[in-house]
Amino acid sequence: MENKVVVITGASSGIGEALARTYSSKGAKIVLGARRQDRLEKLASELPSDVLCVATDVTKEEDCKNLINSAIDRFGRIDVLINNAGISMRAVFQDVQLDVLKNVMDVNFWGTVYCTKYALEHIVHSKGSIVGVISIAGYVGLPGRTGYAASKFAVRGFLDTVRIENMHKGVHVLVAAPGFTSSEIRTQALVEDGSKQGDTPRNESKMMSAERCAELIFNAVKRRKRTIIMTLVEGKFTVLLSKFFPKLLDRLTFNHMAKEPNSTFSK
């Protein structure tokens, strides 16, 4: 990765921050995009390689265009685009305000579309990589998270199609699916009225670390893999069940998610 240029959205915390640290330690030049400029600047001061910070709200097309153009103006190329910015939600569909679903879709899906659109010609030129960070919710519907699951399914379908369209141009597309990963995504998750959840309903200490997730994504990009499902039981086994025993998986998923503290649904 020496002197390669890597653009990362959602870089101010969690998986995005861990990815920035991982790629920077390998000698890559980093372009950090997120809304919280102060956090980006702090992170940049701690990284050993050349770093550019760009305040970016991925729900805004012009912000995404500016992120990509700023990367080109500073470094002249883009080798890896990692669409990591994302938010979650926690509310049953019957109760949730529709603006919540739209907000989740704008960040998770449209943020990926906007950044990929403006970066694609540069990725084609460098024969580089486009990465989408989804979730097991991009393979299996999770109750209480309709908007989140829908957005992750959409990202997977979008990037799978981008891969096929550009298969003869040397473009690599990776769809990366972490399991539950320790990050801010649950504390920042939107509840039924659009406010933030605040507290995580899960034991963060028992989850995959953001650093481990970043390491797996880095290695998958290096090997130019199509997909990566990062956990065994809640990941690969779940996807396998969805193919061969979907009705059983529905029941198992419902029962598992209903056990969360203050679950939004019950039997």
Q: What is the residue extent of each domain of the chain?
A: 5-233
Q: What is the dihedral of CA 245, 248, 250, 255, to 10 degrees?
A: -150
Taking only the tens place, the pLDDT of each residue in 43-55 is 999 999 999 999 9
Topology of the domain comprising 5-233 = Rossmann fold (3.40.50)
How confident is the model over 104-118, as a mean pLDDT? 98
Q: Indicate the pTM of the whole model.
A: 0.93
User: CA-CA distance, 156 to 138, in Å (whole number)?
Assistant: 7
Is 38 in a helix, a strand, or coil?
helix
Beta bridge partners of 227: 175
Supply the pLDDT for residue 201: 63
Taking only the tens place, the pLDDT of each residue in 85-94 is 999 999 999 9
Supply the pLDDT for residue 200: 65
Buried b (16+ CB within 10 A) or exposed e, 4-21: bbbbbbbbbbbbbbbbbb
Who's near 32: CB < 8 A, 6+ residues apart?
Answer: 8, 11, 12, 16, 20, 40, 43, 44, 51, 52, 53, 54
Taking only the tens place, the pLDDT of each residue in 222-232 is 999 999 999 88
Choosing from 23, 118, 139, 148, the catalytic residue is 148
| Known catalytic membership, residue 23 | no
Q: Are 53 and 44 in contact (CB under 8 A)?
A: yes
Supply the pLDDT for residue 204: 61
